[in-house]
Amino acid sequence: MSVRRTTTLAGVVALALGMGAIAAPPALAHGRGGGTSPEKFAQQISTRSVMRHLEAFERVAERNDGNRAALTSGYEDSARYVERTLRKAGYTTTRDPFTFDQEIVDAASLTVTGGATYEVDQMEFAPSTAEGGVTAPVSVPADPLGCAPEAWAGVDVAGTIAVVSRGTCPFATKATVAEAAGAVGVVVYNNTTGMLFGTLGAEGLVTVPVAGATQADGQAIVAAAAAGPVEVTLDTRFHTETAESFNVIAETRKGRDDNVVMLGAHLDSVEDGAGINDNGTGSAVVLEVAVQLAKQKKLNNTVRFAWWGAEELGLIGSTAYVEELATQEGELDRIATYLNFDMVGSPNYVIGVYDADESTYPAPVPVPDGSVATEEVFTGWFDSIDQPWVDSQFSGRSDYQAFIANGVPASGLFTGADGAKTEEEVALFGGTAGIPYDPNYHSPADDLSNVDRTALGIMAKAVGFATASLAQDTSAINGVSGPGDQGGHGKPWKPGKGRHGDGKGARVFEDAA
């Protein structure tokens, strides 16, 4: 799960008790079209088979420097495994290439003269330093947040590197206030654990370097400055290079071309580990569903599967794919709904469904028509088997973002990342309150031992049920039911030529405050 170049979902996807779930419509519950019923198909998605795919992904990582990150041999080998498995099941696979501007970090440090060196992250839209960085004394505002000129009253700021805390106001405000007071550099440290990955929101707001730091490192600098003068060197520089990666796409041979149900999961990991929960689990579940669906004798609708590239660098593969479809007349209209699966085996799990009906969380992004009906396929399944579930914010902070931005209905499942589990969630699912849903999120410990088999099995069967249901009938979503005229099938979507532009948006950041 992503948000940025170092990467990830830095923001917490909050979860709370699901409310107002309703059972799946009868048409979805009984498998129209003569194939295996969705309920029976769900049972064909075995945890053991999904685990075999995860074991293969872990072997890939072990052979490739411990990760499966975009632009690495580990990603290439992961894709080859998916392609081999699909071809064995009878699919034709397509590599969907895209290019993008990749930021290469040349320097990202804050060094105390004669002391420690701390890692920092250059904020988006902040100028780079000259080679060797900027060396200056540290200044700290009387109000550590530094949101207004009054915060610097009585402090000699001129020619210093200002060190301020995150909170209350946007990062750009902190930076512009400090620069106006005379600072030659700004470091904003986090107000919670982890590195602060931030953005100023626009070009040209400041002329001095601005960086994010961890809470512990920032507080250490502040404490040292309180004890006496401290001089530091802030060095933040990067350059861009054009990079190319690819998505893997496959679709069923059966089903009407004009009504496509699409499933996706990102295939890449972060560089720090094998990414077996994030997102080997989603990739493995989608893969096993594809394998089993290929055995079905009759499908009313085409089902298309995607394994996205460069998600951890900023949702790049899925965004490029949707942007190209948007240039091809009618292609996006063919997609009835998109289902996203990103982290479905967290060790301290919840059973989360994207909250399209906003029954628990207001959505910070547009919710396309049809998304609520898609959500109800999942919640109806869980209710029918007495499986507790909770809402997960419909935030757009995974590979469904580009789809919903272009009006395609979407939903998905999520077992949690770096948010803290609540007592209410423990009552529903067990586990431990007050610690992350996945304590090994984006770390080298995200290996096979990090996956909860119970959560994985629950989610895998839910994906199977939803896929089989929608493969037969999407009328609750878009009014389309029945097989239609399938005579034109055999012309699946293929990537265009001269693809995808410059991949702007290769970094997605936390909110600017």
Domains of the chain (ranges plus CATH)?
A: 15-94+242-477 (3.40.630.10), 103-240 (3.50.30.30)
Rounded to whole angstroms, how far apart are CA atoms 133 and 135? 7
- Per-residue CA distances from 288 to 46, 293, 362 (Å): 8, 8, 33
Please give the pLDDT value at position 47: 98
Paired tokens of 314: 């900023």
Paired tokens of 203: 């070009």
Report DSSP state, residue 278.
I
Report DSSP state, residue 206.
-
The amino acid present at 115, given as its one-letter code, is G
Q: Please write the tens of the pLDDT for every residue from 104-162.
A: 999 999 999 999 999 999 999 999 999 999 999 999 999 999 999 999 999 999 999 99
CB atoms within 10 A of CB 43: 12
Instruction: Say if residues 415 and 353 touch (Cβ distance below 8 Å).
Output: no
Residue 94 sits at φ, ψ, to 5 deg, of -130, 135
Please give the pLDDT value at position 19: 30
Q: What amino acid positions are annotated as catalytic residues?
A: 311
Rounded to whole angstroms, how far apart are CA atoms 435 and 362? 24
Please give the pLDDT value at position 483: 82
Q: Please report the beta strands in 82-126, taking only residues with DSSP state E, as ranges in sequence order.
A: 93-112, 117-119, 121-122
Please give the pLDDT value at position 276: 98
Residue spans of the chain under pLDDT 70: 1-35, 485-513
Q: Which residues, other chains included, contact 216 with Cβ-Cβ below 8 Å and sequence gap of 6+?
A: none
* C-alpha radius of gyration, the chain, whole number: 24
Query: CA dihedral in degrees (451, 452, 458, 464; nearest 10)?
Result: 20
Rounded to whole angstroms, how far apart are CA atoms 382 and 258? 29
Taking the model in full, what pTM does it have? 0.80
Please give the pLDDT value at position 512: 43
Q: Please write the tens of the pLDDT for every residue from 445-470.
A: 999 999 999 999 999 999 999 999 99
